């Protein structure tokens, strides 16, 4: 397997990490996710340090430590402890990075079990049977000879290190495990030459090979050891997982030894392996077969010559070593399962790959590592011009088809029979512009290795003039999207007249996002190749993807000719093979009973059933239960007394019809058995999704070929998978349920709630993450299940920040200045105050200050999140340090990532460029605000804006003042609609709307209307408008102190809000102190972890005279009341006990806010509103509310004091009463407390 070398001590001790894909090789993204989760957990628990700090620390203890160099929390083992006067330091070994560091005691934390579930990244290795030597000089006899040594010579170590530094590829073959160390044969590629490092060190007299007897005692012991290693390809229990391949599946405490308890010879495994290969060779019909671990040619080197040269071993020992290498090969390629519809001879090395010589030279020059496992199977049929379907974990990699397609296009003689017209020979359909651009760049990179193909990238919008102008003369390869192609086809009717190769990239995405368009293109292609002139011309369809899709079956049947189907993802192969998935929900205690019931329903044909368990105890328990119910069963696990040979003999016996053979096993025995003819798999315990696919592989011989036989009856399915899902199956249940939904399996109704809760729990884990960018920009996130960001409201993060109070109180038209353009509808900039812009004044002061050379003081100690000055050309900016890169010992200066707090952009500068920023320049809060244009999105279901649109908008709006109407605010984000550039003609004293940004985007033809944008935002955060008002309400009897500099928000305070994802408790806005956190109208808010309370509309009575309106609000005693007056509304709130009262009153007519007052008297708040215009109001509010009524007690009092005639006065008072009675007949939007 391919590895990456992490650290080298000498040839007897070096650390590697395993690369590539495999069921037991952890992908690098999983380690990144683990690091992110650990950083989030341990950073957030800073206030509860005692809960996660170890009580005692001792050598050999596994823990989590903070690395100053890596700036993250890492899994580690303590190597030594050094005690100081008042503290102690520990020397730790980082288990994932193979580094030794010194850590202070305050930076050590307990390693939670949740963070120990995946193997450690660093694996300790040594060269197999390769021992150090030294030159021994005998002065008495005056001789010198090379003899074995205990330590490696410094020259040998230096040579070994340089050898690994010069290599372009490193591979290992695992041979044994001893003392937590992997014994390996190490292969390196230097200047296109493959070298075995073990041999190289021996040939240069740096080492010698150890005799076989010294290491293994007897051949029987050696065979047992090798069998133990072979099952090592499955998870095993070990002493120190830091230095070996720690298990994925076993959840029990780590054991203290390496032994597996399995005593099966490697020669037997070779027989099993050869049996699988023989099955493939003997069956040449188009029947679906699975070939586990088919050998690569590069891995079949015979080691006899090497052994005779260095060891002079006898033939028996040579045979043992060859068997050993065969077993090790199974280990190194444990993931290599392939599922084929036709026999394919794989091309596993670049030298034998079906590519042109020029292309091979170019790939070698670019240090291409050779065909991957999937490429080795799909390149040959593609290069022969056959129809091919490839489903693989790497199915989104264009290299699955680009090299062989370019090679085929080289043979110009194949296309001589085509009409002499303009048109492409090859068409590559991609799901979006971004993937199309990637494919096009790859074609441009390698077009020099073939004849001139003149590839074109065609991405067209709805602008018909642009489409008409496209010319494809001389172009032989087009890269485009389905929508763009059909727009081009409207004006280029002969587009398919020469088309021979149609490539569908990411086929599952194409069929999910553009099903109709793809089949339209396929129909056009099919009609074009029916003509006589195509009889001797190639016609090929290639479809590659990561998941099987139901439309692929139709594609194969209707448009392909005997295609080669290559599937290296076993769970996807089971969908193709029509495996029936049966889901059985049950309680944990009922699993055995459900298992027995399931076995009763199996039909009377010969049935071979595998029951998979996750532990030895479970396997024993299930086996005993089957025996007690008179069901014949076998069992195998790592502690079983039966060996693999006996189990396979029983399994492969010829049984009569109606016999049921049941084998209970654990996952670690699955691959060593090599079973592929099971008819039913029962998942007694849920595995991870990848292990789930390998379990299904055990039935691959019984997969149906539904593509060839469309009449296959669903009732006669040969393979069945039964899943027992219990309440404790939450760990992997969500992944399995997603797979079952993808497979369109029937999911019981009672599991829908379980799935919803699981998805809800997944969302809760993201609660401190930033709000999803797609949610903000488009109102919807298409990939919520895999999106790492939050999709619900977090009041501590999403309250308005850096936005003037006047904007949040009365959202209206504002002047904005876009300064940093993220994409066509997302910008950062400032809200400009036309009357007196505080930032303009500050910017002038900062630039005047730094013009004096004496004020340009460089910062010596740069701190994260601190604020500094920065000179950019002739201007000075306020910046905040976001991240500090690891400082090299030799370097005086280092790079830091900064944020321009008044512009919003991120950049990277040298530390010496940062200048000391006086405190007076830090008082003004950061001015950068994020702006989002509403109601517009990319065309063609794209999720990202085309760079053409972004570039156009960037040049049009950056640095220019625009008028915009704010429709929503959330956190530091403002949604505007519209956003208009207004030009003022001073001579004519008029203003002209130069352009509307949204209209400009639509005019490019690459944007379309998005009417649901605002609606989706309102569904998500319908309560935020109320919160925005209540946040700014002033307590009665208190004046806002704006003069006190202590009350002025500084950038440091604002940075706390901006970095609230790191410090969840640091936000200034907390629920408990907020008067209106209860108005939650969306499920996301109601289900949030914050405790929310309901807001009640108080009982209100009112009366009036000619100049004022008096409003009486009934409240409980000792209520904390607040109010706010604006021209058109009054917002009143009060908090009493556990109840919150809120009245947001939009008044019938305008008032004078500065002359309106509110006083507390007894159990009433009396609000006196001064009318802007004298006269009678026929009602108090514009909208009806049943909690508001006219005060009849003051009717007579009103008559006595009124200067109007009695008749007139009664007229409008009666009108007011009538209006209020009508109003009370309709419901209000806020709850009553009754």
Higher pLDDT, 1142 or 1229: 1142
**How far is residue 264's CA from residue 262's CA, in Å, rounded to a whole number?**
6
Give 141's pLDDT tier (boundaries 50, 70, 90). Answer: low
Range with the largest mean pLDDT of 260-264, 385-389, 881-885? 385-389
Give the pLDDT score at 1090: 30
Give 918's pLDDT tier (boundaries 50, 70, 90). Answer: very high
Q: Bridge partners of 386?
A: none
Give 391's pLDDT tier (boundaries 50, 70, 90). Answer: very high
pLDDT, one tens digit per residue, over 1006-1043 is: 999 998 898 888 888 754 443 443 444 333 333 333 33
Q: Is the pLDDT of residue 1216 over 70?
A: no
Using the Cα atoms of residue 629, residue 634, residue 638 and residue 641 in order, give the sign of their dihedral.
positive
Of 423-432, 491-500, 1080-1089, 1206-1215, give the lowest mean pLDDT range.
Answer: 1080-1089
The dihedrals phi and psi of 1024, each to the nearest 5 degrees, come to -70, -35
**How far is residue 793's CA from residue 1027's CA, in Å, rounded to a whole number?**
12
Higher pLDDT, 863 or 804: 863
Of 50-59, 649-658, 821-830, 1220-1229, give the lowest mean pLDDT range.
Answer: 1220-1229
Higher pLDDT, 599 or 223: 599
What is the maximal distance between C-alpha atoms in the chain? 141
302 three-class SS: coil
Q: Do 543 and 367 contact (CB within 8 A), yes or no?
A: no
747 three-class SS: coil
The structure tokens listed for 897 are: 């990532």
Tally of CA atoms within 13 A in the half-sphere of 999 that contains its CB = 8
Give 22's pLDDT tier (boundaries 50, 70, 90). Answer: low
Average pLDDT score over residue span 197-223: 65
Average pLDDT score over residue span 968-995: 87
pLDDT, one tens digit per residue, over 1152-1207 is: 988 888 888 777 888 999 998 888 888 888 887 888 888 877 654 444 443 333 33
Residue 703: other Cβ atoms inside 10 A:
26
Percent of the chain whose pLDDT exceeds 90: 24
pLDDT, one tens digit per residue, over 703-730 is: 887 666 544 444 456 788 999 888 777 6
Give 302's pLDDT tier (boundaries 50, 70, 90). Answer: very low
Average pLDDT score over residue span 492-501: 86
Q: Is the pLDDT of residue 793 over 70?
A: yes
**How far is residue 185's CA from residue 525's CA, in Å, rounded to a whole number?**
51
State CA 866 to chain mean position distance: 30
Higher pLDDT, 1059 or 260: 1059
Give 946's pLDDT tier (boundaries 50, 70, 90). Answer: very high
Give 535's pLDDT tier (boundaries 50, 70, 90). Answer: low
Give the pLDDT score at 59: 85
Average pLDDT score over residue span 671-687: 88
pLDDT, one tens digit per residue, over 1084-1099 is: 333 333 334 457 788 8
pLDDT, one tens digit per residue, over 462-479 is: 888 888 888 888 889 999
Give 268's pLDDT tier (boundaries 50, 70, 90). Answer: very low
Mean pLDDT of the chain: 76
Q: What distance, in Å, lies between the first and last C-alpha atoms of the chain?
A: 72
Tally: H helices and E strands in the chain? 38, 52
Average pLDDT score over residue span 658-670: 87
Q: Do 477 and 456 contact (CB within 8 A), yes or no?
A: yes
Average pLDDT score over residue span 254-280: 33
Give the pLDDT score at 1226: 40
In the numeric block, the tokens 């990699």 are attached to: 397
Give the pLDDT score at 948: 92
Range with the largest mean pLDDT of 376-390, 1076-1090, 1217-1231? 376-390
Of 173-177, 178-182, 312-316, 358-362, give the lowest mean pLDDT range.
Answer: 312-316
- Cα 1138 to Cα 637, 1078, 1096, 1144: the distances in Å are 60, 11, 11, 20
Helix H, strand E, coil C: the string for 435-504 is HHHHHHHHHHHHHHHCCCCCCEEECCCCCHHHHHCCCCCCCCEEEECHHHHHHHHHHCCCCCCCCCEEEE
Q: Is the pLDDT of residue 518 over 60?
A: yes
pLDDT, one tens digit per residue, over 546-566 is: 999 989 999 999 999 889 999
Average pLDDT score over residue span 404-408: 92
Q: Is the pLDDT of residue 164 over 90?
A: no
Give 481's pLDDT tier (boundaries 50, 70, 90). Answer: very high
Q: Is the pLDDT of residue 981 over 90?
A: yes
Give the pLDDT score at 809: 55
The dihedrals phi and psi of 650, each to the nearest 5 degrees, come to -65, -40
Of 327-336, 647-656, 1080-1089, give the lowest mean pLDDT range.
Answer: 1080-1089
b/e code 612-646 from CB counts within 10 Å (16+ = b): bbbbbebbbbbbebbeeeebebbbbbbebeebbee
Give the pLDDT score at 1137: 66
- Could you tell me the pTM of the whole model? 0.60
Give the pLDDT score at 292: 40
Q: Is the pLDDT of residue 532 over 50?
A: yes
Q: Is the pLDDT of residue 1114 over 50?
A: yes
Average pLDDT score over residue span 956-963: 93
Using the Cα atoms of residue 107, residue 112, residue 118 and residue 122 in order, give the sign of their dihedral.
positive
pLDDT, one tens digit per residue, over 80-137 is: 887 765 677 888 999 899 988 888 888 888 888 888 888 888 888 989 889 898 887 7
Q: Where are the beta strands (DSSP E) in 149-230?
A: 169-178, 181-190, 193-196, 207-209
**How far is residue 86's CA from residue 310's CA, in Å, rounded to a whole number?**
58
Give the pLDDT score at 366: 85
**How far is residue 868's CA from residue 901's CA, in Å, rounded to a whole number?**
10
Higher pLDDT, 544 or 1209: 544
Percent of the chain whose pLDDT exceeds 70: 75
Give 218's pLDDT tier (boundaries 50, 70, 90). Answer: very low
pLDDT, one tens digit per residue, over 727-764 is: 777 667 777 788 888 888 888 877 777 777 778 888 88
Give the pLDDT score at 712: 45
What is the total residue count of the chain? 1234
Higher pLDDT, 249 or 22: 22
């Amino acid at each position: 397997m391919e590895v990456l070398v992490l650290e080298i001590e000498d040839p007897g001790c070096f650390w590697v990490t395993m690369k590539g894909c495999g069921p037991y090789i952890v992908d690098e993204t999983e380690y990144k996710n683990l690091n992110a989760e650990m950083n989030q957990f341990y950073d957030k628990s800073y206030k509860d340090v005692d809960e996660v700090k170890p009580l005692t620390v001792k050598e050999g203890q596994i823990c989590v430590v903070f690395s100053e160099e890596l700036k993250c929390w890492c899994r580690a083992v303590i190597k030594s402890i050094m005690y100081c006067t008042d503290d102690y330091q520990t020397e730790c070994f980082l288990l994932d990075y193979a580094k030794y560091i010194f850590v202070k005691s305050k930076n050590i934390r307990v390693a939670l079990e949740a963070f120990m579930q995946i193997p450690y990244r660093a694996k300790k290795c040594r060269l197999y049977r390769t021992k150090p030597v030294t030159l021994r000089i005998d002065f008495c006899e005056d001789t010198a000879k090379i003899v074995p040594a205990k330590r490696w010579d410094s020259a040998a170590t230096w040579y070994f290190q340089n050898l690994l530094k010069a290599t372009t590829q490193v591979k290992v073959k695992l041979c044994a495990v001893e003392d937590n160390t992997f014994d390996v044969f190490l292969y390196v590629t230097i200047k296109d030459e493959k070298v075995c490092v073990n041999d190289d060190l021996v040939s240069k007299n740096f080492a010698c090979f150890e005799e076989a007897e010294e290491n293994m005692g007897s051949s029987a012991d050696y065979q047992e050891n090798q069998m133990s290693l072979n099952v090592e390809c499955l998870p095993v229990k070990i002493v120190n997982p830091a230095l070996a391949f720690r298990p994925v599946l076993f959840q029990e405490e780590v054991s203290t030894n390496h032994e597996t308890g399995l005593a099966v010879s490697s020669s037997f495994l070779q027989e099993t392996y050869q049996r699988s290969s023989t099955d493939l060779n003997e069956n040449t019909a188009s029947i679906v077969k699975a070939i586990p671990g088919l050998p690569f040619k590069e891995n079949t080197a015979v080691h006899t010559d090497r052994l005779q040269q260095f060891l002079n071993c006898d033939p028996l020992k040579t045979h043992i070593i060859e068997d050993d290498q065969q077993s090790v090969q199974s280990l190194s390629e444990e993931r290599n399962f392939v599922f084929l519809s036709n026999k394919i001879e794989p091309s596993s090395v670049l030298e034998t790959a079906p590519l042109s010589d020029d292309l091979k030279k170019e790939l070698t020059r670019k240090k291409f590592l050779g065909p991957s496992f999937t490429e080795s199977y799909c390149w040959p049929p593609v290069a022969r011009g056959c129809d091919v379907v490839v489903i693989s974990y790497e199915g989104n990699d264009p290299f699955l088809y680009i090299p062989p397609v370019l090679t085929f296009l080289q043979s110009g003689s194949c296309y001589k029979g085509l009409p002499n017209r303009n048109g492409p020979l090859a068409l590559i359909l991609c799901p979006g512009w971004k993937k199309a651009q990637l494919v096009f760049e790859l074609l441009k990179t390698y077009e020099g290795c073939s004849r001139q193909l003149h590839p074109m990238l065609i991405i067209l919008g709805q602008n018909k003039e642009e489409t008409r102008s496209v010319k494809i003369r001389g172009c032989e390869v087009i890269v485009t999207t389905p929508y763009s192609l059909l727009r081009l086809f409207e004006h280029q009717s002969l587009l398919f007249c020469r088309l021979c190769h149609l490539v569908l990239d990411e086929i599952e995405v194409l069929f999910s996002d553009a099903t109709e368009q793809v089949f339209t293109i396929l129909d056009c292609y099919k009609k074009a190749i029916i003509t006589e002139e195509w009889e001797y011309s190639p016609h090929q369809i290639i479809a590659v993807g990561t998941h099987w899709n139901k439309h692929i079956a139709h594609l194969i049947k209707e448009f392909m000719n005997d295609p080669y189907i290559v599937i290296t993802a076993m769970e996807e192969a089971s969908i193709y093979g029509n495996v029936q998935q049966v889901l059985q929900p049950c309680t944990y205690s009922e699993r055995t009973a459900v298992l027995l019931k399931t076995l009763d329903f199996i039909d009377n044909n010969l049935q071979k059933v595998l029951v998979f368990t996750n532990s030895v105890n479970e396997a024993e328990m299930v086996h005993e239960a089957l025996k007690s119910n008179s069901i014949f069963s076998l069992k195998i696990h790592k502690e079983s007394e039966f060996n693999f040979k006996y189990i396979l003999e029983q399994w492969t016996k010829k049984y009569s019809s109606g016999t049921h053979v049941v084998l209970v096993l654990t996952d670690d025995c699955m691959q060593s058995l090599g079973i592929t003819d099971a008819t039913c798999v029962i998942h007694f315990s849920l595995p991870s999704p990848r292990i789930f696919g390998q379990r299904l592989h055990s039935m691959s011989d019984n997969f149906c070929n539904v593509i060839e036989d469309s009449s296959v009856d669903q009732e006669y399915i040969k393979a069945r998978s039964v899943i027992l899902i219990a309440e404790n199956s939450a760990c992997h249940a969500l992944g399995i349920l997603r797979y079952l939904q993808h497979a369109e399996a029937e999911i019981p109704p009672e599991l829908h709630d379980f799935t919803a809760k699981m998805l809800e729990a997944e969302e809760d884990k993201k609660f401190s993450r930033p709000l999803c960018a797609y949610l903000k920009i488009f109102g919807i996130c298409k990939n919520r299940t895999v999106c790492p960001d939050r999709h619900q409201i977090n009041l501590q993060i999403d309250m308005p920040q850096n936005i003037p109070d006047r904007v949040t109180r009365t959202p209206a038209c504002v002047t904005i200045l876009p300064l940093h353009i993220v994409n066509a509808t997302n910008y950062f900039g400032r809200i400009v105050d036309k009357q007196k812009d505080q930032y303009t004044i500050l910017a002038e002061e900062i630039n005047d200050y730094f013009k004096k050379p004496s004020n340009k003081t460089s910062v010596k100690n740069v701190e994260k999140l601190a604020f500094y000055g920065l000179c950019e050309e002739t201007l000075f900016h306020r910046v905040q340090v976001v991240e500090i890169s690891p400082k090299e010992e030799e370097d005086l200066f280092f790079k830091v990532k900064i944020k321009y707090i008044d512009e919003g952009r991120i950049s990277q500068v040298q530390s010496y460029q940062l200048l000391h920023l006086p405190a007076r320049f830090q008082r003004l809060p950061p001015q950068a605000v994020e702006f989002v244009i509403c109601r517009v999105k990319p065309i063609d279901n794209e999720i990202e804006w085309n760079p053409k649109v972004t570039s156009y908008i960037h040049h049009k709006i950056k640095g220019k003042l625009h008028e915009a109407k704010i429709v929503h605010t959330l956190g530091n984000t403002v949604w505007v609609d519209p956003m208009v550039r207004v030009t003022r003609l001073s001579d004519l004293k008029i203003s002209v709307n130069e352009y509307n940004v949204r209209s400009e985007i639509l005019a490019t033809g690459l944007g379309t209307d998005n009417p649901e944008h605002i609606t989706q935002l309102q569904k998500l955060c319908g309560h935020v408008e109320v919160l925005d008002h209540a946040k700014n309400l002033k307590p009665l009897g208190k004046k806002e102190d704006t003069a006190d500099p202590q009350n002025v928000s500084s950038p440091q305070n604002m940075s706390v809000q901006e970095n609230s994802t790191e410090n969840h408790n640091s936000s200034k806005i907390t629920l408990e102190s907020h008067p209106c956190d209860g108005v939650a109208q969306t499920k996301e808010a109601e289900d949030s972890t914050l405790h929310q309370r309901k807001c009640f509309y108080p009982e209100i009575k009112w009366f009036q005279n000619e100049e004022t309106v008096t409003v009486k609000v009934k409240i409980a005693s000792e209520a904390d009341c607040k109010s706010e007056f604006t021209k058109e509304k009054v917002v009143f709130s009060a908090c009493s006990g556990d109840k919150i009262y809120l009245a947001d009153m939009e008044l019938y007519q305008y008032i004078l806010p500065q002359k309106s007052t509110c006083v507390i008297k007894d159990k009433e708040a009396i609000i006196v509103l001064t009318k802007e215009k004298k006269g009678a109001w026929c009602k108090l509010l514009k909208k009806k509310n049943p909690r508001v009524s006219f005060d009849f007690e003051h009717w007579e009092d009103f008559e006595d004091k009124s200067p109007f005639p009695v008749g007139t006065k009664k007229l409008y008072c009666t009108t007011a009463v009538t209006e209020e009675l009508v109003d009370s007949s309709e419901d209000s939007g806020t709850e009553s407390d009754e």
